Structure 1
Amino acid sequence: MKVTRIEAIPFAIPYKKPLRFASGEIHTADHVLVRVHTDDGLVGTAEAPPRPYTYGETQESIVAVIDKIFAPQITGLTALEREVVHGRLDRTVGNPTAKAAVDMALWDIIGQAAGISISGLLGGYSDRMRVSHMVGFAPTEQMVAEAERIRDVHGITTFKVKVGRRPYTDDVAACRALREKLGEGVELYIDGNRGWSAAESARALREMADLGLTFAEELCPADDVLGRRWLVQRCPVPFIADESATRAAEVTREILGGTATAVSIKTARTGFTASQRILHECEGLGVPVVMGNQIDGQIGTLCTVTFGAAHRSCSQYAGELSNFLDMTDDLLTEPLTIESGTLRIREGAGLGIDIDPDKLARYRQDR
C-alpha cells in the first residue's frame, strides 16, 4: 500500500441558487477531487472544498500545495503510516481541507485493503444519520417555503437557520415564522457565522427564547474574547464553536476559555484522524458535538456521514448532510439519497466512492 501518486483535480459544478450567509456567498462548487494511488492498484478518494473566507484556501492553492509540497513528502510511505504522514503535512501551516482530503483518502485505501467499511473501522455505531438542512439568507417567505419543501420531500425535521444579518430583528422574524409554520415537531438552531456583535446576539437570543432552539452557533466573533465569553455565559442553549475550533488545540481554548459549550466537527477540515481526536476530547470534557457541513458535495457528505454514523456521540444529533441538494450535479456514479430524513453510509469496503468518469471529464477545470 505504498503511495505512488497523488492527484489534485480541480472541478466546478454550479449551484441551483446562491447559498448566502454572514461570512460569504457561494454560486459554484469550485472543489478539488483528491485521489491517492498505491503500488498495489488501490485508489483512495476524497474532496477538498476551498473556503477562502474561513480558512484562506482557494482551489488553486489546494492543487498547488498537494502537487508541490504534500505529494513529494508522502510518496513512498504506506497508507498505514498516518502519523508519519501527518507529521510531514503539519510542517506546512494551515491548508486544513487539503490535509483532510489526503487523510481521508488514506483511510479509504486502508478500508479497501482490509475489505472493511471505514465506518466499521472508525466505530461502527450505526449505518445512517438523521439529517439537518441549512436554510440560508432569503426573504422570510422563501426561507419558510424551502424548509417546508425539504420537510415534505425528504422527511427532514431539523433545520439550521443562517442568521447574522443587520438589523438582527429580520433574522428573529424569520426564525419565528419558521417555528410558526413548521410547528413544534421540528428542531431549529441558528448559525450566525460571526455576523453579530455579542450585544446583538444576546438581544436576539432573548427575543427567540420561546422558540425552543436546540443550539446557537458562532453568533459573534471568537476574537471578541470578552464579549463572546459574556455572551456564552448568558446563552440559554449550547453554544457551538465552528470556525473558531478547527483543530484540537482550538477546541481546548474555546471550551476551557468559556467561549463555547459545544463543538462542530467537519471532516472536510480535520479528516478522520483529527476529527476522532477532537471527538474524544469533547467526550472527555462532556461537550456535545454536531457533524457540520463545509457546503460539501456528495463526496464530502459521504465522508461526513461515514464518520458521524460510526460514533455514538455524533449520532445523538442530526448531521448537516443535505447541502448537496442545492447542486445541479455531482461526481458520484450512484448519487446519495435522503430518505425519511436520514442518510445511509455506503456498503462495502472503504468509503464506497465511485466517480463517474464522464462527469469528471465534464466538470474538471485543468483540461
Structure 2
Amino acid sequence: MKITSIEIYPVELTLKEPFVIAIDTISTYAGVIVRIEDDQGHIGWGEAAPQATILGETQESVIAVLNIIAPRLIGEDPRRMGWITGIMDALVTKNTAAKAAIDIALYDLLGQAWKVPLWRLFGGARDRMETDFTIGIRPPEEMAREAVQLVKAGYRVLKLKLGATPDEDIERVKAVRAAVGDEPHLRIDANQGWSRQEAIHALTHIARYNVELVEQPVAADDIEGLALVRRAQPIPVMADESVHLPVDALKVIEEGAVDYINIKIMKSGGFWKSQQIALLAETAGIGCQVGGMVETDLGLAAAVNLACGLPNVQFGDLDMGSSLRERLIKRGGSIFEDGCMVPGDRPGLGIEEINEQAIGTPLKCYKL
C-alpha cells in the first residue's frame, strides 16, 4: 500500500448561535478537511479543527503545516502509523490539529482497506457511548431552559460551561439542577476561568447540587493548583487543557492532580497519541473522557469511534457538529440514539458519502 494523493480543503461554516466559554466566544467554524487516497483506491477523510485560544492554531496555520507534511508522506505506507507520526513530529513541532487531520484520514483509509470500523480496531469496548450535551455560558434562567429541552430530547447527561464569576456560576448550576430535577447527571467545565481560590469557593458550594465532575477549574499550566483544588473540595477533577500529549498526561498523573483526563483528538494530534494517553491513564487507574473542539460531524465520527473502542473511556462529550448549520457527511457517520452516540458497523469512520458542496474544491492536491 502507498499513499498516492493528499487533498486539502479549507472549510468555513456558521454556528447556529455563538458558543460562549470562559476563554472564548466562537461564532464561525474555520477548519480544514483532508482527503487521502492509496494506490488500491481506498479513501480516508480527516479534519483539523483549530482553535487559537487552546491549540494555538488557525485555519491558515493548519494549511501551512499541511503543505509541509503532505508532500513528504506521498509514497509512504499508510499501515506504518508509528513511522508516519514520527515523520510529522520531525517536520513540525506542536500543530496537533493539522497532524490530526492526516492521522484521522489515514486510520479511516485503513479501516476501509481492512473492512473494519475503527471502534473495533481500537479495542471494540462498546458499540455505543452515552454522551452529554454542552450548554454554553449564559444567564442562569436561559441555561435552565435549554437544559429542560435537552432532557426532553433524550439527554441524560448535561455539561455546563462555567468560569465567569464564581457566585454567578454557582447560580447557574443551582438553576439548572432545580429545573431538571435529580435524575440527569450534571458535569461542569470552567475552561481555566477560575483562580485557585475561586475554584475552591465555587466548587465547595456547587457540590451540593450533585455534580459528577469538574473540567479544568484553573489555568492549564497550573498543575500544582489543579492538585490543590482536587484535594480541597469534593468534586472529582478532570484535566482538559492541561493535557494535550502523552507527556502531559504523565505529568498530571505523577503530580496527583486529576481524577480523570479528557482526551481530544485535536489536542493529541490524532488517534495514535490519543491511544497512548488512554493507556497511560489506564495504567495509573485514572479514567478518561473523549471530547472535542468545535468540530464538524466528521470530527464527531472520529471521536465516537475512539470513545467506543477504548476500554478506559468512562465518559463521552460527543456533541460536536450539533452547533453547526451544515453537515459534512451526507450519508453515514455516527448517529444519536437514546442518549448515546452510535458509530455503526461501516468500515473506517463509517462515512458513506461526503457533502461535496459543503467542502468545495481542494486548495491543494499532492500526488504520487
One fold, TM greater than 0.5? yes
Partner residue in 1 for 2:326:
329
Q: 8 Å contact 2:156–2:339 — kept in the other structure?
A: yes
Query: CA deviation digits over 1:80-123, x for unaligned, max 9?
Result: 11111111111211100111121111111111111111111111
Aligned counterparts, 1:25-40, within 5 A: 25-40=25-40
Secondary structure of 1:54's aligned partner: helix
CA distance in 2, matches of 1:224, 1:249: 15
1:114/1:227 CA distance change after superposition, 3 Å: closer
CA–CA distance in 1 between the matches of 2:182 and 2:256?
Answer: 31
CA RMSD after TM alignment: 1.6
SS at match of 2:198: helix
> Are 1:62 and 1:95, in contact at CA under 8 Å, matched by a contact in 2?
yes
Partner of 1:85: 84
| Residue aligning to 1:311 | 310
- Conservation of the 8 A alpha-carbon contact between 1:9 and 1:33: yes
CA distance, structure 1, for counterparts of residue 76 and residue 339 of structure 2:
41
In 2, Cα distance between equivalents of 1:60 and 1:255: 34
Q: Deviations over 1:277-316 (max 9, x none)?
A: 11111110000111112122101111111110112321x3
TM-score normalised to the size of structure 2? 0.94
Unaligned runs of 5+ in 2: none
Name the residue aligned to 1:76.
75
Once the two structures are superposed, the pairs formed by residues 1-367 of structure 1 within 5 Å of their partners are 1-67=1-67, 69-91=68-90, 92-153=92-153, 155-166=154-165, 168-270=166-268, 271-314=270-313, 316-317=314-315, 319-334=316-331, 336-353=334-351, 354-361=353-360
Aligned-pair distance for 1:235? 3.2
Distance across 2 between alignment mates of 1:98 and 1:189: 29
Higher deviation after alignment, 329-338 or 282-291 = 329-338
Secondary structure at the residue paired with 2:130?
Answer: strand
Q: Distance in 2 between matches of 1:234 and 1:337?
A: 39
Looking at structure 1, the residues matched to 224 and 263 of structure 2 have their Cα atoms a distance apart, in angstroms, of: 24
CA distance in 2, matches of 1:189, 1:82: 35
Conserved 8 A contact 1:13-1:330: no
Superimposed CA distance per residue, residues 316-354 of structure 1 (whole angstroms, 9 cap, x where no aligned partner): 33x111132221111111275422111110322111123
Query: Quick one: distance in 2 between partners of 1:225 and 1:298?
Result: 32
Moved more, 27-36 or 278-287: 27-36
Contact 1:12-1:365 at 8 Å conserved across structures: no
Q: Distance in 1 between matches of 2:170 and 2:10?
A: 39
Instruction: Give the deviation of 1:250 after TM superposition.
Output: 0.4
Q: Runs of 5+ in structure 1 lacking a partner? A: none
Tell me which protein shows more strand as a share of its residues. Answer: 2
Deviations 1:1-22 (A, max 9, x none): 2112212211111011000001
Cα distance, 1:162 vs structure 2:
0.7
Preserved CA contact (<8 Å) 1:36 1:43: yes
**Distance in 2 separating the partners of 1:228 and 1:349:** 40
Contact 1:133-1:323 at 8 Å conserved across structures: no
**CA–CA separation in structure 2 for the residues paired with 1:233 and 1:274:** 29
User: 1:11 touches 1:365 (CA, 8 Å); kept in 2?
Assistant: no
SS in 1 for 2:354: coil
TM-score when normalising by structure 1: 0.94
Counterpart of 2:283 in structure 1: which amino acid?
G
Seen in structure 2, the aligned counterparts of structure 1 residues 85 and 365 have a Cα distance that, compared at 3 Å, is closer
Q: 1:226: Cα distance to partner?
A: 3.7
Aligned to 1:16, the other structure's residue is in SS state strand
Deviation at 1:225, TM superposition (A): 4.2
Q: CA deviation at 1:259?
A: 2.5
Counterparts of 2:20 and 2:329, CA distance in 1? 25
Identity of matched residues, %: 31
